[in-house]
């Protein structure tokens, strides 16, 4: 999408006019933002459900708090990533991938590729965690009050 935006800016002679509106429909962003929003909602709900299901009862509030703290830390890491990209993509002419004055002259698509690479690394890490994770044993309570302990949850990965 970023390449398309820059192509339209170039085709209409707006590369050196950062404050002009680029004639492209905003609806090109609907699929990306819709997919991201749905994925974020499912991720948060699934993550919290996992924490409540697998954490000991006395640790559920703490696990939820750690989830939200990790979410906040991710936002701070995002800011750090932007700062690092500013620093390490600095060219001899003073420009970088994320310029403050004219985004049309930047390389925002490279920044998106870095984020994509980090997400792939995150997916590999997630798959490793899934492979080696052991679920909490289930307890079954019968109608007469007797409990069966250490029933294992069988999963196929």
pLDDT by 10-residue block (mean), the chain, 157 residues: 87 86 88 92 89 87 91 94 91 82 86 94 94 81 60 49
Residue 142: its pLDDT value, please? 67
Residue 140: its pLDDT value, please? 66
Q: CA neighbours within 13 Å on the CB side: how many for 150?
A: 0
Residue 148: its pLDDT value, please? 55
Residue 139: its pLDDT value, please? 67
Record the tokens describing residue 98, joined without a space. Answer: 């994320």
Residue 146: its pLDDT value, please? 60
Q: What is the pTM of this model?
A: 0.73
Neighbours of 2 (CB within 10 A): 15
In the chain, where are the structural domains located? 2-151
């Amino acid at each position: 999408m970023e390449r398309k935006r820059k192509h339209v800016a170039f085709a209409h002679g707006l590369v050196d006019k950062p404050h002009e509106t680029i004639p492209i429909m905003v609806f090109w962003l609907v699929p990306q933002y819709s997919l991201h929003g749905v994925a974020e909602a499912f991720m948060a709900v699934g993550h919290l459900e996992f924490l409540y299901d697998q954490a000991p009862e006395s640790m559920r509030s703490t696990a939820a708090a750690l989830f939200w703290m990790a979410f906040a830390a991710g936002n701070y890491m995002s800011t750090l990533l932007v700062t690092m990209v500013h620093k390490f993509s600095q060219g001899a002419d003073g420009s970088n991938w994320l310029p403050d004055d004219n985004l049309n002259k930047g390389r925002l698509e490279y920044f998106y590729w870095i984020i994509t690479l980090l997400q792939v690394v995150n997916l590999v890490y997630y798959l490793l965690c899934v492979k080696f994770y052991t679920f909490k044993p289930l307890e079954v309570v019968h109608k007469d009050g007797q409990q069966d302990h250490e029933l294992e949850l069988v999963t196929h990965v």
